[in-house]
Amino acid sequence: MTREIKAVQVTVEAFSKYGRLFFHRPPETPYADNEMLTVWYPLVEHPAGEGRTILLLTEKKRPMVLTKLERHIRTMEVFYCVDGRCVACFAPATNPDDPDEQPPVDRIEAFIMDGVTAFTIDRGQWHHPGFPITDTASQFVDFRTGTEPADVENRDLPETVNVVL
């Protein structure tokens, strides 16, 4: 069986169940704003003493067919968008601490990440590497040191999901 979902332009409200979006000019009041600079602080706070690992992820253009989702149980991830445009797919976790949880196929959403500078994915939320709209799309990914690769839970979906623009 195959399901089809339409990718929609991401919004702060629609994405809030998975994490947080950041734009070139955040809507919050800056921490400091003067003739030399504007600073928004803090945007993301990691627990004290937690080491961070950063990797570069370059996704390659391919058919937008989703057959699996993944999640991380022990870490939030931060994606810093550096090149290209993509569609990213997510599904909400019902219980991140349940090792047998399956992603809810009927709740998968696809977002066109245009205009997004960075985004977080909260611990336990189901997601998948993005589908580039351009030839490639790249992000720096920031996560808790020591959680990879054992913290990645991959699940095959019971049906294929085709993502359309």
DSSP state of 25: S
Please report, as a single letter, which amino acid is at residue 52.
Answer: R
Instruction: Render pLDDT for 129-163 as a digit per residue (tens, 0 to 9).
Output: 999 999 999 999 999 998 878 889 999 999 999 99
What is the pTM for the complete model shown? 0.90
83 and 39 Cβ atoms separated by less than 8 Å? no
Instruction: Render pLDDT for 83-142 as a digit per residue (tens, 0 to 9).
Output: 999 999 999 998 888 989 999 999 999 999 999 999 999 999 999 999 999 999 999 999
Of 162, 147, 165, nearest to 63 (Cα)?
Answer: 162
Predicted pLDDT of residue 58: 96
- SS3 percent helix, strand, coil of the chain, rounded to 5, is 5, 50, 45
Round to whole Å and give the CA distance between 88 and 109: 8
> Which residue has tokens 């600073």?
39
- Residues 6 or more apart in contact with residue 143 via CB below 8 angstroms: 52, 53, 72, 75, 76, 77, 78
Domains of the chain: residue spans and CATH: 2-164 (2.60.120.480)
Of 82, 75, 62, 72, nearest to 130 (Cα)?
Answer: 62
